[in-house]
Amino acid sequence: MSTVELTKENFDELVPGPEGRDFVFIDFWAAWCGPCRQFAPVYEKAAERHQDLVFAKVDTEAQQELAAAFGIQSIPTLAIIREGVLVFSQPGALPEAVFEDLIGKARELDMTEVKRKAAASTGAAGPAETV
């Protein structure tokens, strides 16, 4: 699977809640952004290698409302949602080896523990710790 375009119209289909898809990686980018263009091939390669995961891209110019909902202030920004929980969000283009390491760490997360910590800190299941 290659990357898919994520919009506010298809968000609920591609990024459902806790009972939905296990993993969704989201690359927030814009055509005018040099570091975004630099990161794009790294992101595409990872999508090809990890076909069991969903790799989505959000054009922040076309999807300003969605970018705002994630609090995107600089691009590129990579976000990881696992079992409906935002487990990672960080700006900056990642080198291929670092991105692969991050994917591995995201796979290893104990989501029961992440959700427990999120519930304890917010009183309900929600965004949790970073990978």
Q: Would you call 14 a catalytic residue per the annotation?
A: no
List the catalytic residue out of 26, 33, 46, 66.
Answer: 33
Decide if 15 contacts 4 (C-beta within 8 A).
Answer: no
Cα separation, 124 vs 79, in Å, equals 21
- How many angstroms separate the CA atoms of 107 and 75, rounded? 24
Catalytic residue status for 70: no
Q: Which of 6, 26, 36, 85 is catalytic?
A: 36
Which spans in the chain are helix H?
11-14, 34-49, 64-69, 96-108, 111-122
Q: Which residue has the tokens 């299941």?
A: 125
Known catalytic residues are 33, 36
